[in-house]
Chains A and B, each alone.
Chain A
Amino acid sequence: KAGVTQTPRYLIKTRGQQVTLSCSPISGHRSVSWYQQTPGQGLQFLFEYFSETQRNKGNFPGRFSGRQFSNSRSEMNVSTLELGDSALYLCASSPHVGGQYFGPGTRLTVL
């Protein structure tokens, strides 16, 4: 089976812009989660989607949003980018039970 894929792999944006990141889960996985990884804060949970519904949300401002499509692909959007949004954004997909399987991440740099 193909693994979790994320596009794009790298992004450079400027403050105030918005960005959309995409994630394709492993075939058959219906749950998709997003995490932000930074050197200072480590890995922090953003949100989780299952069957197009957000089931879980972390402690992030409303500028961070996401959605899931009927084919389980997911997107996350960050509006009005701030310098502190520079991070590695990881997507993970899960089968019904078991661990989460991560994609390679999207490295976002905000200038």
Chain B
Amino acid sequence: AQTVTQSQPEMSVQEAETVTLSCTYDTSESDYYLFWYKQPPSRQMILVIRQEAYKQQNATENRFSVNFQKAAKSFSLKISDSQLGDAAMYFCAYRSPGGGSNYKLTFGKGTLLTVNP
């Protein structure tokens, strides 16, 4: 079974600074998907960024980018120019390949990000 580990329960960053959230995973599969989700307090989960394991290029979405190290099974999220609205719980998630029968996400425990003005 796949596992996802987020070793930082809490992180804080100053507004406008850069922060990196860590995620490692364990799998025997060679192809898979990785995601970062953001869950603001009392608000719904939002998909931030996704990475397909077969792609070597790291995914980027505006101020959010990932550092995907397949051999090390590491998938960190970098948030640049942090904004107050980035404050949230961030979850790293893994999904097996195969599309049709594998829409199950395995989540890490989350990292609570605080943004200080």
Contacts and interface: CB of A to CB of B under 8 A. Distances in A.
Nearest to B33: A99
B45 A102 contact: yes
Contacts, number: 52
Contacts of B95: 99
B44 A56 contact: no
B109 A56 contact: no
A51 B83 CA distance: 40
Interface residues of B, number: 23
B99 A97 contact: yes
A42 B43 contact: no
B44 A102 contact: yes
A42 B102 CA distance: 20
A42 B5 CA distance: 12
Interface of A: 31, 33, 35, 42-43, 45, 48, 50, 55-56, 58, 90, 92, 94, 96-105
